[in-house]
């Protein structure tokens, strides 16, 4: 095909538009994923604050050694959820920024062997197991 035929071919322009729109859709999907992470991490941190407040009110209404122990366990578990929520929020933002940067440079996003979802899930399992152990160890 000659250069004249290629430049006058309307399919070339359409292909370029489709590529631009595909990049735009990918960026929007990345935004939706990051917003989902923010909702998830906010929920984790809110649940941590709620646990601490609930067991504090339980301890105040019935100040026994058992409620004191439960309150201390709830503080540890709640703080762990709050910290995990904060760390996951920072990591989600960093991942979003780095992936957008790669897209703007025309590079493919990087698929990591330990994505944020699996990492947070494993940390949540560890926090849950430690919380259960603390609850039943005494």
Contact residues for 108 (Cβ-Cβ < 8 A; gap 6+): 102
pLDDT class of 138 with cuts at 50, 70, 90: low
**Sole residue written with tokens 């995990």:** 84
pLDDT class of 86 with cuts at 50, 70, 90: very high
Lowest mean pLDDT among 8-12, 45-49, 101-105: 8-12
Any idea where the domains of the chain sit in the sequence? Answer: 41-136
Task: Report the candidate in 76, 80, 95 with the shortest Cα–Cα distance to residue 38.
Answer: 95
What pTM, to 2 d.p., does this model score? 0.74
pLDDT, greater one: 107 or 88:
88
**Residue 40 has which token pair?**
């998830």
Furthest CA-CA distance within the chain: 88
Average pLDDT over residues 105-123: 86
pLDDT, greater one: 4 or 57:
57
């Amino acid at each position: 095909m000659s250069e004249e035929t290629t430049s006058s071919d309307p399919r070339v322009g359409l292909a370029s538009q489709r590529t631009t729109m595909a990049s735009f859709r990918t960026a929007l999907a990345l935004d939706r994923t990051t917003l989902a992470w923010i909702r998830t991490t906010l929920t984790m941190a809110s649940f941590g604050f709620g646990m601490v407040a609930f067991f504090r009110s339980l301890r105040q209404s019935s100040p026994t050694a058992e409620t004191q122990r439960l309150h201390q366990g709830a503080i540890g578990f709640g703080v762990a959820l709050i910290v995990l929520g904060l760390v996951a929020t920072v990591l989600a933002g960093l991942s979003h920024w780095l992936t957008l940067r790669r897209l703007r440079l025309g590079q493919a996003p990087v698929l990591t062997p330990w994505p944020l979802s699996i990492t947070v899930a494993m940390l949540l399992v560890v926090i849950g197991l430690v919380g259960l152990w603390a609850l039943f160890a005494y």
